[in-house]
Amino acid sequence: MSKKEKKVHPYIPNSVPEVKAKMLEEIGVKDIEELYGDIPEGLRFKGEMDLPEALPSEHDLKRHVEKILSGNQTCQENISFLGGGCWKHYVPAVCDEISQRSEFLTAYGGEPYEDHGRFHALFEYESLMAELLDMDVVNVPTYDWCQAAGTSIRMAGRITGRTEILVSDTVSPERLSAINNYCRPVVTLKMVKHYPETGVMDLEDLKSKMSSSTAGIYFENPSYLGFIEHQGKAISDITHKNGALSIVGVDPVSLGIIIPPSHYGADIVCGDIQGLGMHMSYGGGLGGFIATRDEEKFVMEFPSRLFGITKTSVEGEYGFGDVAYDRTSFAEREGGKEFVGTHAALYGITAAVYLSLMGPKGMQEMGKVIVQKSQYAMKKLSEINGVKVPIFELPHFKEFTVDFKAAGKTVEDINKFLRKNGIFGGKDLSKEFPELENCALYCVTEVHTKNDIDHLVQTLNDFL
Contacts (CB under 8 A) with another protein, residues 127-186: 127-128, 130-132, 134, 136-138, 140-141, 143-147, 154, 174-175, 177-178, 180-182, 184-186
Q: Where in 203-222 is the site for another protein (CB under 8 A)? A: none
- In the bound state with another protein, the residue whose beta carbon lies nearer, of 317 and 435, is 317
Closest residue by Cα to residue 440 from 82, 142, 15, 123:
82
Least Å from the CB of residue 245 to another protein = 19
Report long-range pairs for 421-425 (Cβ below 8 Å, ≥24 apart): 421/455, 421/459, 422/77, 422/78, 422/79, 423/78, 423/79, 423/80, 423/81, 423/455, 423/456, 423/459, 424/75, 424/78, 424/79, 424/80, 424/81, 424/82, 425/81, 425/456
In the bound state with another protein, the residue whose beta carbon lies nearer, of 284 and 406, is 284
- Which residue, 216 or 347, is less far from another protein as judged by CB? 347
Distance CA 246, CA 262 (A): 10
Closest separation between CB of residue 437 and another protein, Å?
18
Site size for another protein (CB under 8 A): 213
Question: Where in 423-442 is the site for another protein (CB under 8 A)?
Answer: 424, 427
Query: Taking a C-beta distance cutoff of 8 angstroms, is the pair 132, 250 a contact?
Result: no
Binding of residue 464 to another protein (CB under 8 A): no
193, 233, 405, 409: which one binds another protein (CB under 8 A) = 233
Phi and psi at residue 408, to the nearest 5°: 75, 15
**At its nearest, how many Å lie between another protein and the CB of residue 50?**
5
| Angle, CA 368 vertex, CA 365 and CA 370 arms, to 5° | 110
Candidates 446, 457, 459, 460: give the one binding another protein (CB under 8 A): 446
CB atoms under 10 Å from CB of 158, counted, come to: 16
CA distance 464 to 455: 14
Please name which of 378, 346, 328, 357 lies closest in space to residue 81, comparing C-alpha atoms.
378
Q: Which is nearer to another protein, 324 or 464 (CB)?
A: 324
Closest CA to 323 of 345, 298, 343, 344: 298
Residue 160 beta carbon to another protein: minimum distance, rounded to whole angstroms:
17
Are 346 and 106 a contacting pair, CB within 8 Å?
no
Q: Which is nearer to another protein, 182 or 195 (CB)?
A: 182
Peptide bond into 196 cis (omega under 30): no
Contact 394, 436 (CB under 8 A): no
Residues 383-422 that bind another protein (CB under 8 A): 394-395, 415-416, 419
Provide the residue count of the chain: 464
Nearest residue (CB) to another protein, 212 versus 361: 361
| Site track for another protein across 20-59, x = CB under 8 A | x-xxx-xxxx--x-xxxxxxx-xxxx--xxxxxxxxx-x-
Select 92 or 243, whichever has its Cβ closest to another protein: 92
Stretch that binds another protein, among 207-215, 235-243, 367-375, 384-392 (CB under 8 A): 367-375
**Sites for another protein among residues 323-362 (CB under 8 A):** 323-326, 329-334, 336, 338-347, 349, 352-353, 355-362
Residue selected from 188, 193, 209, 321 as contacting another protein according to rule CB under 8 A: 321
